[in-house]
Chains A and B, each alone.
Chain A
């Protein structure tokens, strides 16, 4: 069995091969599915929000960042963002299991993670404002750092998001608003929530926006790289809207979509497409990832260390 600090996924960057992106994305998927199983088995208490179906954007956008200096501020559905940023599988699982060797000693849990330059908070919208402040501080430091703020289309119901975008544009801050438009907010479809157009909202603040499919890792990575580079160079915000269906429930058991709708979504699972693109290596990757998750789970279920 590996030592706990070896239980991690390899993160990717702009130079990584497709198979490496697949390994990371597959790792995220397996982690999330394993997590839901653990909840179903009653081994974990509390709540969690898995990003099943949305792994591509997490991997691709994060790969476009410079991990030595860039900051990431995520939301309640941040496991994919977190693992794409640092790959720390065991600390994440341990955190959700409430162990003292978790990312935040069991105090933050699934929605409140911090490691190096990664932050997230579970109250919708507020983290976007914090991210703008982070971007300001980094701009002051003049080290060219870019801040990536993750938010979903549901977040655009919160007023503070608009306040944050307004200030970010006004003050010309180096922030990338990475929007995951998965078409649903908890159990409410986006069209019942959002008037007008998502992209035009950014335009209203003079924030250049690019919309991409979010299901093709290379395409998404290229767009993300363009956006990140522009932010870094121009020192002003940009927005990247990726679209990928949330395949899992909002948290656990709260998916009100019908079986036909879900089936259709799963039929176009972008991870399956990425797997095909990964080619012959896919099988071995699957096995490695499965083994890693098994070990991680065993370690998380093992005797707790003294706090």
Chain B
């Protein structure tokens, strides 16, 4: 039996979190696991993720569920029975190595933040620890409402970590830029034909995939739309990674990312969309499936939704929201034709690009979606 072992170490999910919490073991201790099998669920202040084994063998838990460990600490070992025991003895206990994740906020601060729905990560403390007065100041500055006892209102539940995260992200994004929206009527005849052609080949291709494919062709020419202004500096994303809004049956919003769409075929994009959507449905996205996108798209296909305005995502300059497809009549040289269209709105940060640029982008996107001239 090989002496090789593979060590699952706590990954860095986000820039600001130096610790992760192992919330749940998916594969039991000392069970056999296969390469690619999900084994653990982890969480930080900003993200949840599922971790999979990269090797096959017997799994050994290095920390109990509930433990918080620093990035890089060993969470599990996979290998032969003998090899994993030896490895565990050599590795200093993750628990001992971890300074208990410092309580960054006092109990009074937490209580006040909870009452006002304030995410502690948003509060700038005076000093190392968030104190009640820091939260109070934040509340005063941001006008969060105080909830008091009112018999006309009943408490339903604590907000989930995911909900709080989404709320925090939205607030942070809204504060980061000055957003406005441009609406554009996209011609969807090209996509209609493409989807029909794929279907004839036995491949079901969603409109989302076609849109992503077209964005992959369009965005390279519009660097402003894959930049972000932060701390007085302009950053540009190197790759065209696009997030799309996915909603679980329970109503949880996720934003999985298809990476490098400019390099991918339509079929590949479609497969990725399917894979990511399935995971999002279960709320089980991998760490590498989220974060770091330069652009977001959101589709609502409920009939009669003419258009909608999507809210921006932190660290992105624009988000495209596509309403329901509809048929519009137009005059042609030969009479009247009904063509498939939908209204796209682009909500963009005006500090980095203006309406004209966005309009040009939309026109270019339209051309990418409809490569043949309209009949």
Q: Do chains A and B touch in the complex (CB under 8 A)?
A: no
Interface residues of A (CB under 8 A from B): none
Interface residues of B (CB under 8 A from A): none
